[in-house]
């Protein structure tokens, strides 16, 4: 496992863990999936670290530099981490952080070896994708499953038929791990394509689906409150502007051609600028 440094005590401490994975970047619309994973991993115990110097392109994903009173103080580097948390008496491993730029195949091989060594019983991917859906409806979460994996009867598996898209590193790693016989499922929240910032309702939906799948209660933090505030701001923008209201009506009507997310976002942001409200939705 050349790209992974595993804690020496991790193997003995774990009891049939489930691995939950989400990265920022691709398949992370409105940062909904990465926000859910970061929340899930909060307060966890570090199980493994990864070789960031060979996984990341620091010119496309630059480290953050803190300068205090003219002095260079610290660099915060992009990273991947594997943390252990306990939920409902179960061991959950959360693989989260920045989507790697390089060596996806090698990382997949190392993760396949690591999951076998740790006795991982299942892989769960969390993602979020832009879609032609309005913010006024409950967040739809699409599910995927490999052979041998079991989904709750309430899950919507899809989309049907062939879908060919540019792959995320998350998907490449899921395929690598599941090829060793570990069942894998994925939950992908649909985010209104006109939302340009965080969308807490999607993070909330992902955590709800994860909790139902695992049979555990997942603490939701402030996601519900954040989702309510964001909904109120979007509703106000729609109600106060005839053009925005008409665009949203067309988006809700499945029988009409869906308007572009850019057009609706531009109208909502124009309204909020006029009201001194900045961009939408707030973090």
Q: Using one digit for the tens of pLDDT, what is the confidence trace for 81-136?
A: 999 999 988 999 999 999 999 999 999 999 999 999 999 999 999 999 998 888 98
Q: What pLDDT does residue 281 have?
A: 42
Q: What pLDDT does residue 268 have?
A: 57
Q: What pLDDT does residue 241 have?
A: 75
With cut-offs at 50, 70 and 90, classify the pLDDT of residue 260.
low
Task: Determine how many CB atoms are found less than 10 A away from the CB of residue 264.
Answer: 25
Any bridge partners for residue 74, and if so which? Answer: 66
With cut-offs at 50, 70 and 90, classify the pLDDT of residue 156.
confident
**Would the pLDDT of 160 be above 70?**
yes
With cut-offs at 50, 70 and 90, classify the pLDDT of residue 258.
low
Q: What pLDDT does residue 251 have?
A: 76
Mean pLDDT of the chain: 88
Q: What pLDDT does residue 259 have?
A: 53
- Which tokens is 101 given? 């730029």
DSSP state letters, 159-180: --S----PPPHHHHHHHHHHTT
* Prediction pTM value: 0.87
**CATH code linked to domain 4-220:** 3.40.50.10900
With cut-offs at 50, 70 and 90, classify the pLDDT of residue 242.
confident
Q: Average pLDDT of 180-195?
A: 93
**Would the pLDDT of 264 be above 60?**
no
Q: What pLDDT does residue 282 have?
A: 37
Q: What pLDDT does residue 247 have?
A: 76
Backbone angles phi, psi at 88, to 5 degrees: 55, 35
Residue extent(s) of CATH 3.40.50.10900 domains in the chain = 4-220
Q: Average pLDDT of 25-40?
A: 96
Q: Using one digit for the tens of pLDDT, what is the confidence trace for 205-222?
A: 999 999 999 999 999 999
Nearest Cα to 206, choosing from 29, 88, 42? 29
**Backbone region of residue 221 per phi and psi (left: phi > 0; alpha: psi in -120 to 50; beta: other values):** left
**Would the pLDDT of 224 be above 70?**
yes
b/e 13-24 (16+ beta carbons within 10 angstroms → b): ebeebbbbbbbb
Q: Average pLDDT of 1-18?
A: 85
The residue count for the chain: 283
Q: What pLDDT does residue 263 have?
A: 61
**Would the pLDDT of 255 be above 50?**
no
Q: Which of 12-16, 146-150, 208-212, 272-276 has the highest mean pLDDT?
A: 208-212
Nearest Cα to 125, choosing from 90, 174, 158? 174
């Amino acid at each position: 496992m050349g790209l992974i440094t595993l804690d020496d005590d991790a193997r003995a401490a774990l009891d049939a863990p489930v691995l939950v994975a989400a990265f920022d970047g691709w398949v992370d619309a409105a940062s909904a999936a990465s926000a859910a994973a970061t929340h899930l991993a909060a307060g966890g115990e570090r199980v493994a670290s990864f070789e960031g110097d060979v996984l990341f392109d620091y010119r496309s994903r630059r480290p953050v530099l803190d300068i205090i009173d003219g002095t260079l103080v610290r660099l915060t580097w992009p990273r991947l981490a594997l943390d252990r948390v306990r939920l409902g008496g179960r061991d959950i491993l959360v693989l989260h952080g920045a989507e790697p730029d390089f060596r996806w195949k090698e990382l997949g091989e190392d993760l396949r070896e690591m999951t076998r060594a740790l006795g991982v019983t299942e892989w769960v991917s969390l993602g979020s994708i832009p879609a032609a859906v309005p913010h006024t409806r409950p967040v739809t979460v699409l599910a995927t499953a490999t052979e041998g994996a079991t989904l709750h009867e309430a899950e919507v598996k899809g989309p049907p038929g062939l879908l060919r898209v540019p792959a995320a590193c998350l998907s490449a790693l899921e395929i690598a791990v599941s090829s060793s016989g570990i069942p894998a499922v994925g939950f992908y929240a649909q985010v209104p394509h006109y939302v340009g910032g965080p969308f807490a309702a999607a993070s909330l939906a992902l955590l709800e689906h994860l909790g139902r799948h695992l049979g555990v209660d997942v603490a939701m933090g402030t996601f519900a409150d954040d989702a309510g505030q964001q909904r109120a701001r979007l509703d106000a923008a729609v109600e106060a502007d005839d053009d925005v209201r008409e665009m949203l009506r067309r988006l809700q009507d499945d029988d009409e051609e869906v308007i572009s997310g850019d057009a609706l976002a531009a109208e909502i942001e124009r309204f909020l600028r006029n009201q001194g409200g900045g961009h939408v939705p707030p973090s």
